[in-house]
A and B are shown apart, each in its own frame.
Chain A
Amino acid sequence: MTTDPQHPETPAHCARHGRRRRLAGAAALAVAGTALVGTGAFSAWDATASATGTLGAGSVAVSMVDANGGSFSTGVANLLPADYFYRYVDVTNSGSAASTFTGSVSATGDLAGQLQVEVTSCSVAWTTVSGASTCTGTTSVLATGTPTTSTPLTVAHGTIGTGAAAAQHVRYKVTFASGAPTTMQGKTGSIAASVSNTVVGGSDRTGG
């Protein structure tokens, strides 16, 4: 066996070779450890947390409920000038949240422009006492005017909470114009009232 003059020892005993082997071994261990960690070999120590929240879509609905023992739809015949009649409804917000409501009253047919309308709310239910329309709470005039088909009377109902308990008690007083000409005799028409609300989302609901 020949001996390299620059490298007299066998490779197994060569100090330089030994250092290389140690470095290579350490590198191999490092790579293996990294691989183990990367592949989740220690997943027994893993922990998972989760949270759920109930979500529900809102709803929008409104109803006009006959009140004070009458029916809005009951017709009235043989009106004379200055005759008047009342109709009562409870405007009920059947949706899922308080909302602002807007109403409309229109007159159609031959009587358009001849029916004066006053819309009044009462803080409690309307009653009729000895033939007189009565509010034992606080009244608020929501609108007055003489609607036509093309120009209805706009009624600002304001904000109404949800449920029957929060219903707005509304009275419509309809008066046939005292100055109606004789040509209005025997004419027919109709009076119509509506209430609506529009809800637009896009609000930050993080807080509920």
Chain B
Amino acid sequence: MTPPRRRRGRTRAAAVVAAGVLLGLVAGVVPAQAAPWQGSAARSATVSTARVSSGLVLVAGAGTVSADRSTYSMSTTVATQAGYLDLVNTGTVPATLSLDVAIGAVVGGAPATVCSVAWNTTADTCAGTTTTVSLTALVGRTAGSHTSPALVAAGDGVHLRVKLGGVISGVTVTATTVVPRPAGDRTQG
């Protein structure tokens, strides 16, 4: 049988009062928490990652470089033309740079030459050491590649001269893989 509403109300009120009393007793028994004392120290350091990239720059002579600096093109004629371009390490760490050379005809000689220092474009001379880009004659074209023999510092580059005549064909130089310095201990910077 359901108790009358008034009786249920009194029961509920009594329960609330009892709970309050019980809580009060518990609160009185539990000791107050001591205030914690804290010591702390902190250090931090900034870190940033490298960028790895290369780009072609036309220094002097014939030909053009694409907007993204990845390709150099020169349309040759019967008359001999020369283009001086640098493959620059545009990254932030030393890297090994590579380029491909492609000529749309079978040619001989040494149409692509690398100088260890910047070319004298006026005198068409190299004050350092020259390295001929090894090209292979293929069916109707000639192609080869060059990789810097050592790490190229950021901002420095490979100095290439493309010199060709006697053929009506195009020459294309493409910047390819960039291999940064090996990973290692950077504690000292």
Chain A: residues with CB nearer than 8 A to chain B? 58, 60-64, 70, 72-87, 89, 91, 94-95, 99, 110-111, 115, 128, 131, 133, 174, 176, 178, 180, 184-202
How far apart sit A79 and B184, CA to CA, in the bound complex (Å)? 9
Residues on B with beta carbons closer than 8 Å to the beta carbon of A191:
44-45, 47
How far apart sit A80 and B178, CA to CA, in the bound complex (Å)? 13
The answer to whether B51 and A186 have CB atoms under 8 Å apart is yes
Closest Cβ neighbor of B40 among chain A residues: A196
The answer to whether A63 and B49 have CB atoms under 8 Å apart is no
Residues on B with beta carbons closer than 8 Å to the beta carbon of A133:
187
How far apart sit A201 and B92, CA to CA, in the bound complex (Å)? 54
Nearest CB in chain A: distance from B103 CB, A: 31
How far apart sit A202 and B92, CA to CA, in the bound complex (Å)? 58
- A75, A78, A133, A197, most chain B CB atoms within 10 A: A78
The answer to whether B34 and A176 have CB atoms under 8 Å apart is no
Given A75-B47, A111-B49, A185-B50; A80-B93 close (CB under 8 Å): yes
The answer to whether A74 and B36 have CB atoms under 8 Å apart is no
Chain B: residues with CB nearer than 8 A to chain A? 31, 33-52, 92-93, 180-181, 183-187, 189
The answer to whether A60 and B42 have CB atoms under 8 Å apart is no
Given A85-B186, A191-B47; A64-B42 close (CB under 8 Å): yes
Q: Among the listed B45, B50, B181, which residue makes an inter-chain contact with A87, where contact means beta carbons less than 8 Å apart?
A: B45
Nearest CB in chain A: distance from B35 CB, A: 8
Given A95-B39, A194-B40; A189-B46 close (CB under 8 Å): yes
Residues on A with beta carbons closer than 8 Å to the beta carbon of B48:
75-79, 186-189
Closest Cβ neighbor of B41 among chain A residues: A64
Q: Among the listed B33, B36, B43, B180, which residue makes an inter-chain contact with A80, where contact means beta carbons less than 8 Å apart?
A: B180
The answer to whether B42 and A193 have CB atoms under 8 Å apart is yes
- B45, B49, B52, most chain A CB atoms within 10 A: B49
Residues on A with beta carbons closer than 8 Å to the beta carbon of B45:
72-76, 87, 190-192
How far apart sit A61 and B39, CA to CA, in the bound complex (Å)? 5
How far apart sit A128 and B187, CA to CA, in the bound complex (Å)? 11
Residues on B with beta carbons closer than 8 Å to the beta carbon of A62:
39-41
Further 15 A-B residue pairs, CB within 8 A, beyond A70-B187, A75-B46, A176-B47: A60-B37, A60-B38, A72-B44, A74-B189, A76-B47, A77-B47, A80-B52, A80-B183, A87-B43, A184-B49, A185-B51, A186-B51, A193-B43, A199-B37, A202-B34
Nearest CB in chain B: distance from A46 CB, A: 40
The answer to whether A188 and B46 have CB atoms under 8 Å apart is yes
Nearest CB in chain B: distance from A109 CB, A: 8
How far apart sit A133 and B93, CA to CA, in the bound complex (Å)? 24
8 closest Cβ contacts across the A-B interface?
A: A82-B183, A196-B40, A192-B44, A194-B42, A78-B50, A72-B43, A75-B46, A202-B34
Q: Among the listed B31, B44, B183, which residue makes an inter-chain contact with A73, where contact means beta carbons less than 8 Å apart?
A: B44
The answer to whether A190 and B47 have CB atoms under 8 Å apart is yes
Q: Among the listed B34, B44, B49, B187, which residue makes an inter-chain contact with A78, where contact means beta carbons less than 8 Å apart?
A: B49
